[in-house]
């Protein structure tokens, strides 16, 4: 399993937003929608061995985690509005300590970045922090396909979050010489893993 | 300059579609919208040395080419609806033989794939056809940053189109062992060029 974690600093924590304005009405939810697409879609089908965890930290009721599971997922199309509508449906459910499935393969619970990191760490997973000044992913030989990748949104990663991540991360990885959008970084991570697995 | 050409086999050739349903009402225009994003966006800013050419071959008035020019571009945000709305504005203009600018950095004209390919070929540009069975882009040493990249959409590239492309292409390139969406392929092409230019 590959797990992608993306932090949505302003992403709304209620379903009270418009699919016609994902950037404005939903706290840059468009970024998270594109991350869902990048993490999961192949030309003809879905990457079944992937989870994407959206850490929603915006108003009115932070923090919540929405998880897309490639194995169980249904009703997802590649356009932003499609993932946006599944996120909206998840946010219309009550978020409790345990995951509730809102639609096939989409789950919501009350949790934040720290808890998610602790769970991955306790499960013994290799956790990688994606950052512009990290080690070159192409040169990093230990990368395996059972890894967890942590990425920031348009605001990057705060200092506090970075302290939490550094505590559990195996190392910091760079995907190229330029700072890119998080969804673009995911494509490059997948490509690197695809090349190694081929 | 880097030029990306993406063929939209069903993409509408009038502005008569709904931004609320880019996949259905506009002939999978969502694919082209994501290609615009992938070709042009950096984390903070735009790739100024890039053109994206959308070859629209759908009803009611094919073919037309909409060009996004990174150097002159304004009013583009990363979400699909934003590029969709600039494409719609372009399609609301009359398409004639010469380019008409619809909004800053977005141009429309009446042209098709063959003409576009001939223009690039006459300008002496290196043209690359992106295809699953091509040469590994990482191993291809001659790649330069003044290249033209031709990609298909969800329907791939037809046999007829392939004949036209093969006539002018320098070679066929592969970006990884799995067939991916066109917008994802563009990210990997950029990454490869970024690594070489760094
Ligand atoms: C839009 S970038 C953040 C931009 C910038 N760091 C900031 O704080 O405004 C979103 C995320 O993508 C990842 N990222 C972007 N470019 C990267 C690169 N070249 N290498 C590794 N990770 C990258 C990082 O996780 C980053 O937090
Ligand atoms: C969604 S794919 C097309 C899928 C499939 N070839 C078909 O005909 O249904 C869209 C385009 O991306 C490009 N592409 C996809 N995967 C690729 C790969 N691994 N290497 C090179 N190009 C690729 C090709 O240009 C292709 O036409």
Would you say B53 and B65 are in contact if contact means Cβ atoms under 8 Å apart? yes
Q: Label each residue of B21-62 as H, E or C.
A: CHHHHCCCHHHHHHHHHHHHEECCEECCCEEEEEEECCCCCC
pLDDT (tens digit per residue) in A121-161:
999 999 999 999 999 999 999 998 899 999 999 999 999 99
d(CA A23, CA A11): 9
- Asked if A107 and A69 count as a contact pair (C-beta separation under 8 A), the reply is yes
Q: Is the pLDDT of residue A194 over 90?
A: yes
Contact B121, B127 (CB under 8 A): yes
**Pair type for strands A100-103 and B106-110:** unpaired
* Ligand 1 atom with minimal separation from the A179 CA: 16
**What is residue B189's predicted lDDT score, i.e. its pLDDT?**
98
Enumerate residues 6+ apart whose C-beta is below 8 A from B155: B9, B10
Between chains, do A79 and B22 touch, taking CB under 8 Å as contact?
A: yes
Q: Reply yes or no on whether the pLDDT at A63 is more than 90.
A: yes
**Whole-number pLDDT of residue A64:** 98
Q: Which CA distances in Å does B124 have to B121, B146, B189?
A: 5, 10, 20
CA-proximal residue: ligand 1, atom 25 (nearest): A151
Q: What is the mean pLDDT of chain B?
A: 98
Q: Which two tokens stand for residue A101?
A: 């499935």
Q: Whose CA is nearest to atom 12 of ligand 1?
A: A182
Q: What is the pLDDT of residue B144?
A: 87
Distance of CA B64 to the CA centre of its chain: 12
Average pLDDT value over all residues in chain A: 98
**For the structural domain made of B7-110, what CATH number should be given?**
3.40.1280.10
> Within 10 A of B101 (CB to CB), how many other CB atoms are there?
14
* Percent of chain A whose predicted confidence (pLDDT) is above 70: 100
Q: CB contact, 8 Å: A42 with chain B?
A: yes
Which residues on adjacent β-strands are paired with residue B101? B107
Which of A24, A31, A25 minimizes the C-alpha distance to A8? A31
The pLDDT, as a whole number, for residue A170 is 98
Cα distance from B122 to chain A (closest Cα, Å)? 32
Q: What fold, for A2-110? A: Alpha/beta knot (3.40.1280)
- B131's tokens: 């295809």
β-pair partners for B7: B55
Provide mean pLDDT across the span A62-87: 98
Q: Do A111 and A149 form a contact (C-beta atoms < 8 A)?
A: no
SS3 (DSSP) at B51:
strand
Q: Which ligand sits nearest to residue A8's alpha carbon? A: 1
Which of B 98-157 lie inside 8 A of A, CB atoms?
A: 138
Structure confidence at residue A83 as a pLDDT band (50, 70, 90): very high
Question: Cα A172–A173–A175 angle (5° rounding)?
Answer: 155
- And the tokens for A163? 């302290």
HSE value, Cβ hemisphere, 13 Å, CA-based, for A122: 6
User: Are the beta carbons of B178 and A42 closer than 8 angstroms?
Assistant: yes
Position B28 scores a pLDDT of 98
CB contacts of B42 in chain A (<8 Å) are 178-181
DSSP conformation letters of B80-136: HHHHHHHHHHHHTSPP-SS-EEEETTEEEEE--HHHHHHHHHHTT-EEEEEEEEEEE
Residue B137 token pair? 């882009």
Q: Split chain B (198 residues) into runs of 10 and give each run's mean pLDDT.
A: 98 98 98 98 96 98 98 98 98 98 98 98 98 98 94 98 98 98 98 96
State if residue A179 touches ligand 1 by the CB under 6 angstroms criterion.
yes
Break chain B into its structural domains and give their ranges. 7-110, 113-197
Question: Ligand 1 centre and the CA of B85: distance in Å?
Answer: 27
Closest-CA distance, B111 to chain A, in angstroms, reads 27
- Atom of ligand 1 minimally distant from the CA of B43: 1
* pLDDT of the residue at B145: 87
Q: What is the pLDDT of residue B121?
A: 98
Cis ω before B60 (30° cut-off from 0): yes
Identical fold for domains B7-110 and B113-197, yes or no, is yes
- Alpha-carbon gap, residue B113 to B118, rounded angstroms: 9
Q: What is the CATH number of domain B113-197?
A: 3.40.1280.10
């Amino acid at each position: 399993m590959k797990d992608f974690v993306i932090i949505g600093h302003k992403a709304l924590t209620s379903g009270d937003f418009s699919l016609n304005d994902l950037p404005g009405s939903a706290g840059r939810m468009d970024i998270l929608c594109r991350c869902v697409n990048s993490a999961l879609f192949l030309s003809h089908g879905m990457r079944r061995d992937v989870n994407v965890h959206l850490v929603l930290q915006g108003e009115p009721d932070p923090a919540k985690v929405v998880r897309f599971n490639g194995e169980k997922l249904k009703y997802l199309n590649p356009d932003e509005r499609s993932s946006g509508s599944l996120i909206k449906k998840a946010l219309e459910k009550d978020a409790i300590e345990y995951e509730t499935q809102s639609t096939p393969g989409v789950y919501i619970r009350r949790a934040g970045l720290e808890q998610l990191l602790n769970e991955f760490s306790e499960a013994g997973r290799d956790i990688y922090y994606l950052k512009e000044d990290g080690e070159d992913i192409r040169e990093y030989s230990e990368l395996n396909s059972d890894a967890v990748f942590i990425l920031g949104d348009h605001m990057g990663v705060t200092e506090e979050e970075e302290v939490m991540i550094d505590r559990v991360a195996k190392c910091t990885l760079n995907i190229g010489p330029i700072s890119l959008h998080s969804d673009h970084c995911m494509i490059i991570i997948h490509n690197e893993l695809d090349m190694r697995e081929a």
